[in-house]
Structures are given as C-alpha cells and as structure tokens.
Chain A
C-alpha cells in the first residue's frame, strides 16, 4: 500500500529490470524507496518479463560467458546496428559498466545458465537468465522486498509535476484510489509508449489497429508524455519503433517471443494482393528479422503471408500456432483468404525465376532468382513439394525509440540543456540516447541494468543532499 503521507527518499516509476536495478541500488545506498508498478503482481516487470539475456563486456571467460568480448568490438557491433544513431560517450560508458552488471545481478539472486544449444553465436557475448526474464524479475523482487524496498502494484502514475526541473509531486492511482505522492528524488523507468495505440495512431493512422504489441500492455507512455510536455529534452524519432514479423494470430498484447515466425528466408512472402514485396533471402534471419515488421506495416492492411513447401518446413523454428497446410497452392490460398489466381501467378513466376544452385540453409548459399522483381537472393528454391504451408504475418512492435534525454549520471536533461534537479531515468524510456535505431540482442537489458544502477545511485545521493 502507498501511504501518501510518507516522504520517500527515492520513488521509482516502473517495475522492470531498469526500475528494480535502480530501486535496489538506491536502497543499498541507504535511501528509503517506493516502487510504483502499474501492472498487478502476476504481470509485473514490463517488457523484462519477455527478455532472456544481457549483453556483457568481459575480458576473460566468466562463469557463463566464453572467451572475451571487449569494448571496441562491442562498440563496433553497436555502431553497425544503429548506423551511428548513438552517443559514443554514453554508449562506451554503458559497455564498460556492463562488465559489472553480471555480478550485480548474481548478487540479486539472478541465476544464469551455461551457454546454450542452438545459440552458440551468443554464448560469447550474452549471458542467459536461467528461466528467462520472469525468473530474473522474481529474484529482483525477492531481493527488493528482503532489503526493505516498498513495492506497490496496480499503481499507475498519471501526472508528474515538474517545476523548474524539480519533481514536486506525482498524481497516481493505486489499487483504484487516486492520491498525490512526493519524494525527494524520482527515477522514471516506465518504458516506452508502444502499448498506447492512441498515441501511435498520431503517427501511423488506423494501421495501428493491425499492429501487435509483443510486450506488456502497461507501456502506455504516460510518464514519458508528461515529462516531454513539461520541457524535458526529447531524444529519438517519435514515429519509429522496433518491429518484427509475427504470426498474425498472436494476441494483441504480451504474446512475447513465441509468436515470432522464422519462416521468411525459406519462403516467399506475399501481401494481401498476392504479390511479393521484398527480397526474403537478403541476409541471415537474425540480421533481417527486425526490418520485416516495418515492411509488413507498409503493406495494405498491414498483413502478409509466408508461403513455402514441405522442403522448407524443417528449416525454421516452429511458431506457437499451427501452420496452415494444404495439398495444393490453390487450396492454401483459399485457406489464407488470398486470391488463388494471384498466388498461382506469383508462385509460377517465382518458380520460373529460381536458378539451380547448391541449397544450404547455413550459409548465404547464393541460390537466387533471375529476372524477378523483387529478387530473392539466397535460399531460393522452387515451391513445388506438397503439402504447402502458409503463415499469416503482422508487424509486432517490440518498443518505441522516443525517450527523454539523460546525461552520464542518468540525470534527465531539460530542453534548454540544464540537468533536472531530482529526476533520473533508466531503461526503455531513455534507451534512445544510446540505441537510436536498430537493435542488438540483449542490449536493452544492458542499458536497463547499467542505467538503473546509475539512476539508483544518483537518486539516492540527490535525496541525501
């Protein structure tokens, strides 16, 4: 329960990895801490619930990471995915501090698992939480409660009152009751706004009705909007989001990882009109899956259909929903709700364009089409072996890039460049400072933990003064 008469040293808005890293760090620094988590207890933790690993720099093998992963390589990886839309100072600091993130999490009771089957390429760079993000959150919350952090679930911040860079008070609803709370310092770790479809609609129109939000329905961006409306410096393009191709049958919110579909490189992808629109075999799927959300978002009706034949089925991870299977292409088109003639024409043209080659799903095998627009440049095989298999696809939004600007102490900056007096930020709400575009597996959690710890430390020291 939230007692509006108490003055906490540090108030943390949010309940995910970034929020709990801040809350625990602030409490360990001696501050009294209140965490306001919008979700009920069973759904606590924001998008951290759906995460699995954290990317950590290390100069020698650790208990769970192999080999070494040094600052410059990490930085190069980040530079490549962001195309330079990053802040080198903050990014390099995050990378260096990621080395201490693992011991911090372990001290919070988070268990890691040894490097995995099937993800060997990540066992050097990313540490995997045993049981995934929800297990990590369970450990965080148990630690927080043990050391005396007060956690209030079902508690949403409605409005932050900023006055000359100082948070004076916050209007919240806690378990349905409206109240005003005060704190000496505030950490905003409340995520992006991807679950706020009305806000998204401003940029994307009615297409948002066809978007699927992969993560928490509680990322409504209320705090973000409140801060930006009151002169906090903005970072990131508000129209941009990270989106992947999802099985269209996914629930509108919170489907997480399992609704992702990896069939694209081994299939052809048609839009509602039965036409292809992009090179499905451009590169390995881990390097391309993040562009497909946007590609599908730009198609009529924001829907697409991945079609392949029996040869391709064993090549990709099963989706959580059963494949749509048919003995003929016409029947498959019918089942998918597509015009059979259009599908037949597209497949015929594609099949005719496929050049013979040595198919190999583990390399860029160069099996390609000729004279086809758009081409398929790798893994092009004729679609001719029944049963034929199809999946409907929709854009699945992971997170938005819009955020608040921060400095290297996690202190929020005002639009006029001055630092805010007692306001700090960590996690998705500020990750646009470092990750302006693209994504690097496990880096969201790294930013969350590193900036969470910074924000907790800074907020505790701000509350002391």
Chain B
C-alpha cells in the first residue's frame, strides 16, 4: 500500500493549535479518551490529529468546560475542529480515492442518491412489471418476488453489500496504517476498544452524561445513538436470518408476524426511527457553536436516509397484504440501495474509524 498521509489543511492547523493549548492545560483529561492520548504526545502531526479527531465522540463536555473557548482569543472548540478533521480523514483514507469526492457536498450527494435509488426502483418495476402485478395483492410465500424477482434482489444486495464492506474495510485499513505501528497488541486492548465503541463510553462525559444540546448534562444522545445503531444491527440480523431461511431452508418471505425476521426487523425498525428522529431533533435544537457547519449536511442526510429506510420498512410490513405492497417494496428497496451504495462515502464510516481509534487508544494506554 502506498504511503498514506493526511494533507495539511486549515482544519488540521486549527486542531493542532487547540491541541497545543489543551496539552498545556489538561483540565479536561477526565472526560474522554482524547486527552490521555494527547498527553502521550508533544507534537501533533496531521496523522496524529486524524487519530485524535476520530477518538472524539463530539460529546461537547470539553467545549462547555473550556476556559479558552470562543470568545476567548485562543478559540478552542474541539467538537467543531475535530469534526472537520474527521471529515478530512474520511476523504483522505477513502477507497478508491477517485470516489472520495463523494464526501464533498455529501448532503447533496446522499439526497440525490436516495432520490435516484427510489426513482430507479419505481421506474424498473413500473416498466418491467405489468400494472396488474405491481398493484395486485400478493400473499403467501414468494409474494415479494412477484414484484421484484428474487435473483435480482439477491444479486443487487450481494454486490452492493460486498462492495460496501470492501470499500469501508480498505478505507479503515488505510486509516489504521497511517499511524505509527505500535509494538504489540493484547486481546485485552482489543476488548477494551470494542467495548468502549459499542457502549459509547465516551458519550458519557466522564460518567455524568454529555452536553447534548447546551451546558446541561444528559444521556439522551447516547441512548438515541444506541437505539439507532442497535436498531440497525437488529434489521441487519433480520435480513441475515431471512437469507438463511430462504437459502438454506427454502422458506420464502414474507414471514409470519411472530417469526424471527419480522420480530427482529420490527424492533430494529422502531429503534432506528426513534434513534434517527431523536438525533435529528437534538441537532435541530442544539447549540450550533460547537458544530462544524460544513459536515452538517452529510450528517443530516445519513440520519434522514436511515430514518427513511426504517420508516419505509415498517410501512412495507403494514402494507404487505394490500395492493400498495409493490410500490412500498420498491420505495423501501430504493432507499436501502442508496444507503448501501453510499455507505462507504458517508458519515456511516465514523463507527469503524472510531472503533479503530479506540482500540489504538487502549493499546497506547497499556
């Protein structure tokens, strides 16, 4: 792999300036993993800043506690400055590099992709399927496949999903390899990093909740993120179980309301709707000062796309025995298609970068 580095930029320069202030202050070291990792360094290369920025969960505890936050002339605003650096790491480490440009104006890109995904599916089913089939009522095994053939669903899903995995995997590997290698790793550190990522330990503001919207402490953001993330994982599990049913047992969808795929999907969908809508709400009502405006579009776009995937999925469940099923299925799969195609070029990658950064932090602490 070629030598990977993070280019110098205004965002890097701002973050470096702030880290130099923080490293001389250190009042925030009880808040999260960023500060102990910072204290191990005296100088901050662009790559170091990319790593520290990805350790930052944007909980804002340090912003409200900061004696050097604006209007102080030092202007330390880590949530904002690190958010900008994180966005630059996603661009710099994206694979393949030509597609990194999708991160520019990411909100617009994602919105267009979502619109195109839905339009494509609708046009395809409308032109390839007789309207009697599209608007007919289908029940029993294989009902969905009368609208969209199984082979097409499997082919598109496998290709997009495997591509997303490959692109995200290679991108996060580039991030991983940009930092100086550490001597060795223990299973303990991997476990710590994984646990910290999966529990969102550092959205806890040192144990008192984080500053979701203003100077007050709360756990809302952490809980909503859990709802969204674990909701997504439930939906993913639902699809996986359905694939096993289909391919191994030959049981064709749709499945009964109390079947494993439907229960998992329903719970997951509800979690995603609650989490997605809640996180959007926190963004809307939150203090905008610690927010990086440039990345806001992409963040909103991903949240809305996840919300739409979940909502249309639940809608499909409700409408599956009605003549609206065909259109609902096409719309749902249109959003899912857009999500998976854009996944490696959206804020979705932050979880992988975060987990890798937390693992590294755990290893550095040893």
Q: Which residues of A contact B (CB under 8 A)?
A: 42-43, 49-50, 52, 111, 113-114, 116-117, 128-135, 138, 142, 251, 254, 256-260, 317-320
Contact B24 A111 (CB under 8 A): no
Q: Is the CB of B216 within 8 A of A131?
A: no
Closest to A321 in B: B20
Determine whether the beta carbon of A256 is less than 8 Å from that of B29.
Answer: no
Quick check: B67 and A133 within 8 Å, CB to CB? yes
B64 touches A138 (CB 8 A): yes
Quick one: closest A residue to B73, CB to CB? A251
Within 8 A of A (CB), among B291-344: none
Do A50 and B67 have beta carbons less than 8 Å apart?
Answer: yes
A132 to B42, Cβ gap below 8 A? no
CB atoms of B25 and A111 under 8 A apart: no
Interface size range of chain B in the complex: 20 to 34
Chain A min CB distance to B27 (Å): 3
**A253: nearest residue on chain B (CB-CB)?**
B73
Does more than half of chain A's interface fall in helix, strand or loop, or is it mixed?
mixed
Q: Is the CB of A131 within 8 A of B24?
A: no
Q: Chain B at the A interface: mostly helix, strand, loop or mixed?
A: loop
By the criterion CB–CB under 8 Å, are B24 and A258 in contact?
Answer: yes
With A133-B67, A138-B64, A258-B25 known to touch, is A320 a contact of B31 (CB < 8 Å)? no
Q: Report the bound CA distance from A52 to B25 in whole Å.
A: 10
Per-position contact with A for B66-81: 1 when CB-CB < 8 Å, else 0?
Answer: 1110111110000000
Partner of B24, one of A42, A113, A251, A320: A320
Which residues of chain A are within 8 angstroms of B71 by Cβ–Cβ distance?
A: 42-43
How distant is A82 from chain B, measured CB to nearest CB, in Å? Answer: 27
20 contacts between A and B (CB under 8 A): A49-B67, A52-B27, A111-B207, A113-B206, A116-B29, A130-B30, A130-B206, A132-B67, A134-B64, A135-B61, A138-B64, A138-B65, A138-B215, A256-B25, A256-B68, A257-B25, A259-B24, A318-B20, A318-B23, A320-B21
A373 to chain B, nearest CB (A): 34
- Measured CA separation A263–B31 after assembly (Å): 28
Contact status B64-A257, CB under 8 Å: no
Q: Which residues of B contact A117 (CB under 8 A)?
A: 29, 36, 39
Q: Are B21 and A258 in contact (CB under 8 A)?
A: yes
Q: How far is the CA of A319 from the CA of B207 in the complex (A)?
A: 30
In the complex, chain B residues 142-175 whose Cβ is within 8 Å of any chain A Cβ: none
Residues of A within 8 A of B66 (CB): 134
The tally of CB-CB contacts under 8 A between chains A and B is 81
B62 sits at the interface (CB 8 A): yes
Which chain A residue shows the least CB distance to B289? A42
Residues of B within 8 A of A (CB): 20-21, 23-25, 27-31, 36, 39, 42, 61-62, 64-68, 70-74, 206-208, 215-216
When chains A and B are docked, how far (Å) is the Cα of A307 from the Cα of B23? 22
A113–B62 Cα distance when bound, in Å, is 14
Contact B62 A131 (CB under 8 A): yes
- B73 touching A111, Cβ below 8 Å: no
Knowing A138-B215, A258-B25, A258-B68, say if A131 contacts B20 (CB, 8 Å).
no
Kindly name the residue among A128, A251, A260, A320 whose own CB sees the greatest number of chain B CB atoms within 10 A.
A320
Contact B27 A318 (CB under 8 A): no
Beyond A117-B36, A130-B31, A254-B72, 8 additional pairs, beta carbon < 8 A: A42-B71, A111-B208, A130-B30, A134-B67, A138-B65, A138-B215, A259-B24, A318-B24
Tell whether, in the assembled complex, residue B24 and residue A132 are in contact, meaning their CB atoms are under 8 Å apart.
no
Q: How far is the CA of A142 from the CA of B211 in the complex (A)?
A: 13
Please name the residue on chain B nearest to A48 by beta carbon. B67
Chain A residues whose CB sits within 8 angstroms of the CB of B68 once the complex forms: 256, 258
CB-CB under 8 A for A256 and B67, given A130-B30, A318-B42: yes
In angstroms, Cα B67 to Cα A254, docked, is 9
Are A132 and B216 CB-contacts (below 8 A) given A50-B67, A138-B64, A318-B42? no
A132 touches B20 (CB 8 A): no
Contacts of B215 in A (CB 8 A): 138, 142
Alpha-carbon separation in the docked complex, A111 to B216 (Å)? 12
Q: Which residues of B contact A114 (CB under 8 A)?
A: 30
Given A111-B206, A142-B216, A258-B68: A131 and B27 interface contact (C-beta under 8 Å)? yes
A42-B64 Cα distance, complex, nearest whole Å = 10
Closest beta carbon of chain B to A289's beta carbon, Å: 14
Determine whether the beta carbon of B27 is less than 8 Å from that of A319: no
Ranked 10 nearest A-B pairs via Cβ: A131-B65, A132-B27, A113-B30, A258-B24, A135-B65, A320-B24, A130-B30, A138-B215, A258-B25, A49-B67
Contacts of B29 in A (CB 8 A): 113, 116-117
Q: How far does the Cβ of B47 sit from chain A's closest Cβ, in whole Å?
A: 19
How far does the alpha carbon of A214 sit from the alpha carbon of B327 in the complex, in Å?
67
CA distance A79 to B64 in the complex (A): 37
Task: Kindly state the separation between the CA atoms of A129 and B208 in the bound complex, as whole angstroms.
Answer: 13
Give the contacting residue for B31; candidates A128, A131, A256; CB below 8 A. Answer: A131
Closest A residue to B20 using CB positions: A320
From B21, B28, B39, B206, give the contact of A132 (CB < 8 A).
B28
Closest to B207 in A: A111
CA distance A256 to B24 in the complex (A): 10
Residue of B with least CB distance to A114:
B30
Q: Is the CB of A317 within 8 A of B24?
A: yes
Given A42-B71, A43-B71, A113-B206, CB of A131 within 8 Å of CB of B28: yes
